[in-house]
Each structure stands twice: as C-alpha cells, then as structure tokens.
Structure 1
Amino acid sequence: MQNLLTNLTNLLSKDNRFISDGKLIKNKIIELALNLDSQLLKLLLSDKEIKKSFFEEVDGTVIFDKIKFQKFVSNKNFLPDSYTSYKNKIGLTVDGDFITDGKDVVVSWPYKDCLLEGGQDKDDAKRSEQFWSETLASDQIDRLLSPKVLVNFKKFTKNGESKLTEFQGGESLLVKGNNLLVLHTLEDIYSGKVNLIYIDPPYNPDSKANTFSYNNSFNRSTWLTFMKNRLEVAKRLLCKDGSLVVAIDENEQAHLGVLLKEMFSEHEVHCITVVHNPRGVQGTNFSYTHEYAFFVIPRGKKIISSRKINQEDIEWSNFRNWGSESERTDAKNCFYGVIVENEQVVGFQDVLVDSEHPTQNVKDGDRCYVYPIDINGVERKWRYARQSVDEIKHLLRAKKVKGGRYEIEIGKDFGTYKTVWLDPRYDANEYGTKLIKSLVPDCKFDFPKSLWNVYDCLYAVIGENKEAIVLDFFGGSGTTAHAVLELNKQDGGNRKFILAEQMHYVETVTRERIKKVVENNAQGSFIYCELAKANQNFLEDISESQTPKELVSIWEKMKSNAFLSYKVNVKSIDNTKTEFSELDFENQKRFLMEVLDKNLLYVPLSEIDDETFGIADEDKSLNRQFFKAVKR
C-alpha cells in the first residue's frame, strides 16, 4: 500500500497540471480521471504497479477502473493535507466535486402544473412547482445541446395575429420549448447581445424526498446543477455590460447566492429583499411576506439607475440655504430671482449686482420674482448657483404660503435604490393574479409575479437604455414581456424581449397576455414559434396519460416511431410485461420516460432536411432566414 502511494505521488508530480505551490491538488486529479484524460491515462500506464492496480485487460483491451482510482485518491492516506484540495477554490460540491466543474446536465419537463409562488394565503401555501427531471452524465450527451429547428411561426401586432412570411431581424420572441435547449438554440445568434436577463426559476420548496422525479421539488444538488446548466449558457448571451436578476425565496436563497458568486466571480452580487405578499404565508414559526432578487452586475461600474420617486412621496425642503455660510455674501452667484408664473417655476433671473436689495417677492404683472430672503429680511442664497440651476429646474416648485407670498422648494424625484423594497404595487395578488385575469379572464395560471415588481427590477438596470434586449427563460405567464412593453409605453423605447416557456399554458396564457398588452397599448409586436418536437411528443403523451392501458398504447407507438436509448432492448422489455404491470402507475410512467433518447427531444437544426422529421418547406425557409437575420 505504502509503495503504491509513493509511486503514484511521484508519478503524478511529473504533471504540472496537478501542482500548486509544490503540492498535488487532489480534486484536479480526480476530475481528470473521471473525464478519462488521455495524458493522465498515459502517465498511469507508464508504471507497471499502477497499471496492475487500476487497469484490467479484457480480450486484449485495457480498461481503466476510474471508480477504484477515485476512491484511492480520495482516501485520507493519500494527500492527507486536504487544504491543497480546496486551496484555490471554495464552493458548492456534490460527492466531493464542485458543481461549477461538473459536466452533468439536468433536463426537465413539466409533470403536472408549474405553480409560481406569490400571493399565497394559509390555505394554498403548500402548493409548489412540480417537474420531472433527469440528470444526464457528459458521456450520455450527444446532440442534446445542439441548435433545434423552429416551427409554427406566428406574428402578433396591434392588429392581431398574422402568418409570418419573413424575418426582418430584431423582433421580440416567445419560444415554446425546453428552456435549456432554447438557450442553446439562440446562443450562437444572440451571443453578447442581451443587456439584461431576468428569471423567476422554480423555488425548490423543502421536501423529504432525496431525488427529483415525480416529487414536488428538486433535490438540492440537482436543482443547483439545473440552474448552473442554464446560467452558464445564458451568461454567454449577455453583452459586456449585461446584468442578471434572479428572483428566489428563502428555500434556495443562500445556496443560489453561493452559486452566482462562483459563476459570476467578475461581477458584483447584491441580494435585495422584496415584500411581495403583505398578508404573509403562514409557516410554523414565521409568516413570510417577502422574497429575494439577486442583482448580478459588472463589478465597479454604475449600472443601477436612480430610483423614481412618486410625486406624493417626494420630500420637499426650502431651496433657500440656512444656517452658517448661507448668506448672500458667502456666494454672490447664488443670489438671483426665481421666476414664478401661474404658480409654476418658469425660469431664472441673472445674478443681481451687489447694490440691488429687493424684497423677498417682487410682483411684475402675471409674474413674481422670488429671492432667497428669509422672513426676517436676511439676504441669503439659493442652494444652486445661477450657472447650474437650469439643470435642476424640474425639481423645484413654488409653494404659496401665508400672506400670499411664494417660497421656493426643492424635492428630488429620484434616489438610490435601497436593499429592501416596499411598495403596495409589489403585491402579487393585486398586481399579479388579478391583473392577469383582467387580460386573460379564463387564465388558470397560479401566482404570477406582480407586474410592478418585475417592472422596477427591469427599470433599475435598463431604464435608461431604450434599445435593450431582455431575456427571460422561465417565461411563466409573460410578466417580463408585459413589463418590457410597459417600459416602452412610458418612455417611447424600443426594447425587445425574448421569452422561453415549455408549459402547456404558453399558448393559452403567456401568448394571449402579451398579445392583449400589445393590442391595448397599440404598439409593439412579437413573433411566436416552437422547438420542433421529436421525443418530446411522447414525453407529453406519457405525462398526460391517465391509465396503464394508455401507457401500453403509447409504448406500442414508441417502438416504431420514437428514438429510444441505445441501452434499450425492445424484445427484452416486451418479455417482461408482467414485471412492468406490477409497477405502480407513476413508476410505469417513469420507466417509459427513461427509455426515450433525451438527445432527440426536439429536432436538431442540422437535420432539418431529414424527411424522417417532416419539416415543412416554409418552416425550413423561415429557419434559414431567422438564423441569418438575427445573427446579422
């Protein structure tokens, strides 16, 4: 044992990739071993004792036992100074491996209803999101993340729905399909172009379940991998000064924060508290009234704009200075008349010469000239010099006081955003649920975000960028698109949105809501399309099935029309029908889902001309236009 330890240590020390400050890095060795790194394997094979310990020969083929090697290297007797394993990195791990270094991919699709939390009361507080997920190891991924074909194109404008005949480029988009695959489909053409990503992902409420399949929540490590998969490709879509905003609740707030700081190490990560449910969600010990929003912004840059303050909330103070160094002689260029007409500040006089000593208010027809003179007749000064006061004229007001005279007041309608957001408009029930039902009366969507919650998150980042592109790959009921359209309505902007959503309600709720907002605003437009389904059709059929008999029928179709996993032996499955029938209904569903090849949930763009998939000629033409026009 000791000789093997010594030999392996000496051998690995020859590879500089494993050395840091003169010591071997355990986690790097394990990572490359699990990835079957060719240089490492050649090194290990060069020593007879090590080859004998970790390799087997089968019919002339040498096979590396990477699990045995991992366990040996992980043993405390090998590299006992564990500090070197984590010296250069601290973060979230699964089975000793950093999540951010992992190559696994969590694919997911809905099982039942996707319920977005917010606006809950005690009776429905236990409701949560339900998905099906499957974690694929890197060696299982073939064409999964390649760009997909888009079909079922439609265009929506203030005049309603029309058939899309050509792409112009630069349109807002609503795409139906698995969001991970939508992101990879858009990656090449939108890389470096997105100004803001706003997402409201599954909140992953507490559950005793230790796996995520037909359960009401993710296992934490699966949820974090699920998020990491999507964030790493989304990050590549952000422009140089782009920002990310992620809404989350208390269940994963802490862990998400660690993940974001790992993945966006060159950014600032700020956690904001938003009071979105003043009634509270009753817990055992506390009633939760808030959730969080992580703002991930470029480090060291002024990205967050000034906060708008409503007129009724502005704090007014006298424009005239008071106290020490507030007299006319302390700053002569601050003594001039403020011109008031119809009780509005309309302009300013030039600075008065020293010999002029007016009264506080001087009437001249419909105008009144107000000077910085206090009630005791002391000549003081305005808080802004004459050469700079025109820039803040909109912050001034004329207030009529006792005796009919005017005082000039200043009040800022902007301010710095605070880390706790309190506003009645963030109420998810009043400005989420009720709002969407006013637009889509038959809406079955539960707990949408408050429009103004999302609006203010967007405004904080892109309020001054009227040409911004905003991406939301957890599109939900379409609140982000609604907020973008509302921003454009307020300031005449030309911002665009890109939304991805997989759930069944994308056509009945998401699309209908955005369509209604466009029509009501009489401005804006968007294009709707879908990822072309392959195995996804069978997943949906399995998910929606109600009886074992339906599953048997689906299996018969799958045998001839589906793309099955290379591990599947159809004859073997047919020979075990009795065993299959003994499974409970949910596990029967699970089994059929697992035998489908996940690399072909949707049709790869590279196979658009393959007759097997039956892509229409007009869709082929629109795909070629889209991938060319947007990239341009």
Structure 2
Amino acid sequence: MPTLNWIGKEKVVNHHRDVPFRVLEHQYHFSAEKGVSAESSAEAGNMIIHGDNLEALKALLPEYEGKIKCIYIDPPYNTGTEKWVYNDNVNHPKIKKWLGEIVGKEGEDLSRHDKWLCMMYPRLRLLQRLLKDDGVFFISIDENEIHTIRILLDEIFGSNNFIEQIVWNKRVPKNDKGIGNIHEYILLYSKQSKHDHRFTQLKEGIDEIEELIQKSKRKNLSIAETETEVKKLYKKNGYDRGITLYNNLDRNYKLWGKINMSWPNGQTFGPRYDVLHPKSNKPCKVPDRGWRWKEDTFLANVNYDEIEELPDGSYKCGKIWFAKDENTQPSSIKYLDEVNDFLLRSIISLKSSGSIDLEGIFKKSAFDYPKPVRLLELLLNSFQDSESIILDSFAGSGTTAHAVLNLNKLDGGNRKFILVEMEDYAEDITAERVKRVAKGYGEGKKTIEGTGGSFDYYELGEPLFIGENQEHLNEEVGIDKIRQYIWYSETKTSIPVIAKEERLKQSQNKKAESKHYLGERDQTAYYFYYHPDEITTLDHDFLATIKTKAEKYVIYADNCLLSKEFMAKHNIIFKKIPRDITRF
C-alpha cells in the first residue's frame, strides 16, 4: 500500500494523543415544543458543540468511542481561495496557531497541501476511533485534495475498508479553469471490512409519481386516464427503466410492471415445465433456455382462481401476467413499491441547491456553498439504520442535522446528531438553522412544517489535566466533571444520575454510602477519594466507610497504606491520583 509523506507528518502522527481533554460546558437545551431552557436533557441525545473540532472530538471519546454509526464530514477543500465562510486555505488563526505550536519551525515552509494534511490527520485519527465496528465514514472533497486524502484514509482506515469513490454531479458548472467542472467526490469507508454493508437509495421520482397518482384519484380520473398521465410524467422527466417499467395500475391505483421470466444466463439452462394459459387452458410458449423460476415458485405466485381481465385483453392471475393467448410467454408482476429502491450509485446526479435551502430558512444567503439537504438525506438513509448516531465535525451551516430531522419525521426514526463547529456562527447559523427546522419556518404558501426534535448546545470548557505533561488535575473544572470523567474511563458509560432529594436523604443517613462513591457496574464498586486541598490516603479507616458489597473494588486516592497481600485478598485495586487516571 502506498504511503503518503509530507512536511510535518512526523509531528502530527501521534498528536491526537497529546490534545488536551477539555470538558463540555452545557449552555442550553432547545426543544421544538418548549424553546430554550437552561437544563440539559439526557433524553435528547442531539448535540451542537462550539469549539475547535480536534479538541471537541477528544472530549467526545469517553462517552462515544466506538459508538458512532455514521460520520459525515465536509472539511475545507483547500482550494487556496479566501472566499469561503470557513477559511478554505487553512490559514484560519486557530489552525495557524496550532501548526506553529505542533509542527514548529517546519510549519513556516509548509505548502498549503502540507498544512491541510497536518490539520486533517489527527482529526481523522480521532474520528476513526469514534466509529462503531460496523460504522461508515463519508467525506466530501474535490479535485484539490482527492489524490492525497485517498492515500491518507487508506493509511488510517485500511485500504481494504475502502468502499467507493462516489462522484456527485452537481449540475452547476464551475468555470474557473476553462472547463465546466460539475462534480465533486464523496469517499466512503467502513470501520471494518468484515461487516457486510449494503447502501441503497430511493428511485428518483417516487415522491412525484405518488403525488400525481393521488392527484388523479382526487380528480376521479379512471385507471386508463391515470396510466396516460403517469407515462407523460415519465417521458417529461426522462426516468430510467427502473421507473418506466412500472406503467400499469391495478384497481387500487398501485403501479406494477411486467418482469421477464426467461432464464437469464446465456451459458446454462433453467427448468422447463408447462404453464397453462388462464383462458385457453393451453400451454404457453416456453422460453428457449427455460424458465427463471422453479415450478414450485411459479405455482406459489400464480392464482388461477382469481383471474382479472385487463382493458387490453390480457390477464392477471395473482402475480403472473398472461397475454391474450398462449403464444406469448407470461411475465411475473412486480409492484413499484416493492422495488422502490436500488443500490446507491457511484454517480449521484443532484443539483447543488444548498444555498436555496438556506435562503428558505433565513430569507438570505447566510452561508457560502452549503451542501444540499437532499444529498445528506440520500447518504444518511443509504445504510438503513434509523436508530443511528451521526457525527459531523465540520458542521458548517448544519445541513447534517437538518437531514437527520427530516429523515426522522419521514420514517419515524430515532437518529441522533452530533455537530461540531469552531467558527463564531455556530450559534447564529448552525444552531439557529436547527431550531427553525425543528419549529418550522417560512410564510404563506412557502411555510415548511417543523420536524420536531431537540438538542443541547455546548461550549468547550477548561482542560481536565494541566501542566507541561498534563500531570495535574485541573480543579477549576469542578469535582463533578472529574468524577464523570473517571466513571467514563472505567465503565464507558454515563455516571448514574442521583436526584438532589435522594442525595439529601443519603447525606442524612448514617448507613449511606461515602460521598466518594461513584457507582457499581459489573459487580465492581468504584470510589474516587479526592479532596482539592488535602492528600487522601486509602487505608483501613477509609475502607470502614464503604457500604457497598461487591466482588471487586476500584479506589482512586493520592496514597495507599494497604498491603498488596490485603488488597489481593479483598479484590481491591488502588489507582493513584492523577498518575493512574486514563488519558484519552
């Protein structure tokens, strides 16, 4: 496998490990029903984080490592221009500062490609860690970095986990190089190739066709008249055969088509048996190479007790179509709603209408070149998981969240989104867009009904560890944040929430657990024996305060006076603060 090298690579290969772990500071909760409130909601699940995405990804690790089903990112394309809202030549002050600190003097000589790779590499490493084992990763990119990002992703994800390089035909040309460039790329990788992935998409025009049929029914058009209207629509829009094949309507106005029943392989032969015509009762013509189906399958689909004569003189018998007589071979019947999707194509033709989407929400062009909602809906619905967590760490205007909310409304799903945006518009554009989509927007005939939904908004807070080598706990973050981190590091779960009333009762109960008790999981009790202003010691006096009976005990403290033999006998594990606290 080819290896990609660039100036500064050796300085950033392990940089994701050195990024400080910052706590997430909750700012407010939003719901479509109640608006903004101060309290967070564990049930919401949706998050918008304002802050540098490298540090935000690190902050997500304790709770979300290995739990994200899908990641979609739309990073800077590195075009070298200065016209993007997200500074696309990667000279943003925060990134320049980071390059200066991490890459050092070499950074002064970096080309814009080297800078871009230095910026992307540690972020991709953290993103890969956040994915579930059966997770999938999409990244939008154009010709400026497609050649480098492919090699970089092969290195991080493994070349055997590459699935496809999708071409997005935007239909809107960019004419700055003497050629009408109308496409971008979407690279698709999996976390592990051992998991089977099947990506599908709805056939183009399904919604429009259904709308036409419903309109015809309201006008009391006959089936024949409606079929004529459907065929006109097919011709007008130039749909492919995957749609136009289905041009017949049954008595319930459901579209169906005739599927060839001949044996499909030109080198082999299928079964041969007699198929009787429903009217003449004579055997129909057998295909030259036999039938596609076994006789049992045919008999399970045909129904001679329910013969329906069609206007053109042909017949329907269950799910088999027969011509007027036995001289034409029959076909199987397939309904369009049974085959309304197909495998996601490696070329997606979809107009670049993201700016129009935003103008409908903000009544102005609030963001340059956002991705169209329809494109994100197509990608996020392609892996058929309506309960997934979806992460976008280059959130921009919030298109990913918009698509998630739309899909949930459409199919009743429970997808969750996590957005990260480092620019100052994270509140005024990213979060505001999600609020309006959830509540509804527009006026008059252009009113768009709200999708419903909620999210919690966060800012990146203080680092949990301080010092040149992150050797000290930062007490400024507060004991609750530290306790949450310890619990996450041990159990990979959220710390149990105890109501204030219950805490008061426990504090008044002489038999209540120590305030240093974190919780119990898998027969292990966890304790964080810590005081900001004094040294704590794990000794027999502290053990006397423990009320929980467990098979094993993990106890954090500054020192330990218990013997190794005693701890081994009683299944006690001592962890020294802060030395033995896991760094993510």
TM-score (normalised: structure 2): 0.58
| From 361, 378, 381, the counterpart of 1:456 | 378
Paired position in structure 2 for 1:538: none
Paired position in structure 1 for 2:528: none
Contact persistence 1:335–1:382 (CA under 8 A):
no
- Paired with 1:94 and 1:434, the residues of 2 have a C-alpha distance of 39
Paired position in structure 2 for 1:126: none
Paired position in structure 2 for 1:202: 76
Deviation at residue 94 of structure 1 after TM alignment: 2.5
Equivalent residue letter for 1:361:
E
1:74-85 superposed matches below 5 A = none
1:106-505 superposed matches below 5 A = 145-168=19-42, 171-206=45-80, 212=91, 219-265=112-158, 266-276=160-170, 278-297=171-190, 298-299=192-193, 301-309=195-203, 310-311=205-206, 312=209, 313=239, 314-316=243-245, 318-319=257-258, 321=260, 328=275, 332-333=295-296, 350=303, 361=309, 372-378=321-327, 380-383=329-332, 395=337, 412-423=339-350, 427-428=351-352, 431-441=353-363, 444-461=366-383, 464-505=384-425
CA change 1:362–1:199 in 2 (3 A) is closer
Equivalent residue letter for 1:176:
H
SS at match of 2:30: strand
Greater helix proportion? 1
The percent of aligned pairs where both chains have the same amino acid is: 25
Equivalent residue letter for 1:518:
A
Deviation at residue 476 of structure 1 after TM alignment: 0.5
Deviation at residue 152 of structure 1 after TM alignment: 4.4
Give CA-to-partner distance per residue, 1:332-355, whole Å, 9 cap, x none.
Answer: 556679xxxxxxxxxx76466xxx
- Paired with 2:414 and 2:90, the residues of 1 have a C-alpha distance of 44
Where do 5+ consecutive residues of structure 1 fail to align? Answer: 1-88, 106-136, 338-347, 353-357, 385-391, 397-411, 535-562, 567-598
TM-score (normalised: structure 1): 0.54
Contact persistence 2:167–2:183 (CA under 8 A):
yes
Paired position in structure 2 for 1:112: none
CA change 1:252–1:320 in 2 (3 A) is closer
Contact persistence 1:474–1:500 (CA under 8 A):
yes
Aligned length: 389
SS at match of 2:134: strand
Give CA-to-partner distance per residue, 1:104-131, whole Å, 9 cap, x none.
Answer: 27xxxxxxxxxxxxxxxxxxxxxxxxxx
Equivalent residue letter for 1:415:
F
Give CA-to-partner distance per residue, 1:505-561, whole Å, 9 cap, x none.
Answer: 111000010111112335221111101269xxxxxxxxxxxxxxxxxxxxxxxxxxx
Contact persistence 1:168–1:629 (CA under 8 A):
no
CA change 1:421–1:326 in 2 (3 A) is farther
Deviates more, 1:203-212 or 1:240-249: 203-212
- Paired with 1:605 and 1:482, the residues of 2 have a C-alpha distance of 41
- Paired with 1:103 and 1:316, the residues of 2 have a C-alpha distance of 58
CA change 1:269–1:320 in 2 (3 A) is closer
- Paired with 1:626 and 1:170, the residues of 2 have a C-alpha distance of 19
Paired position in structure 2 for 1:119: none
Paired position in structure 1 for 2:107: none
SS at match of 2:382: helix
- Paired with 1:286 and 1:605, the residues of 2 have a C-alpha distance of 57
Contact persistence 1:260–1:269 (CA under 8 A):
no
- Paired with 1:382 and 1:213, the residues of 2 have a C-alpha distance of 63
Where do 5+ consecutive residues of structure 2 fail to align? Answer: 83-87, 97-109, 210-238, 247-256, 264-271, 276-282, 284-290, 441-449, 497-584
- Paired with 2:360 and 2:422, the residues of 1 have a C-alpha distance of 23
SS at match of 2:244: coil
- Paired with 2:462 and 2:137, the residues of 1 have a C-alpha distance of 30
Give CA-to-partner distance per residue, 1:356-415, whole Å, 9 cap, x none.
Answer: xx987289xxx985763213444744437xxxxxxx65647xxxxxxxxxxxxxxx3221
User: Is 1:511 the counterpart of 2:431 in the alignment?
Assistant: yes
Equivalent residue letter for 2:244:
E
CA change 1:524–1:359 in 2 (3 A) is closer
Deviates more, 1:317-326 or 1:369-378: 317-326
- Paired with 1:254 and 1:280, the residues of 2 have a C-alpha distance of 21
CA change 1:212–1:625 in 2 (3 A) is same
Paired position in structure 1 for 2:12: 104
SS at match of 1:485: helix
Contact persistence 1:327–1:380 (CA under 8 A):
no
- Paired with 1:163 and 1:232, the residues of 2 have a C-alpha distance of 35
Deviation at residue 257 of structure 1 after TM alignment: 0.6
SS at match of 2:323: coil
SS at match of 2:22: coil
- Paired with 1:511 and 1:605, the residues of 2 have a C-alpha distance of 35
SS at match of 2:324: coil
- Paired with 1:169 and 1:218, the residues of 2 have a C-alpha distance of 46
Paired position in structure 1 for 2:455: 526
CA change 1:413–1:529 in 2 (3 A) is same
- Paired with 1:383 and 1:231, the residues of 2 have a C-alpha distance of 49
Contact persistence 2:307–2:317 (CA under 8 A):
no
Equivalent residue letter for 1:172:
N
- Paired with 1:497 and 1:300, the residues of 2 have a C-alpha distance of 26
- Paired with 1:194 and 1:210, the residues of 2 have a C-alpha distance of 29
Paired position in structure 2 for 1:92: 4
SS at match of 1:94: coil
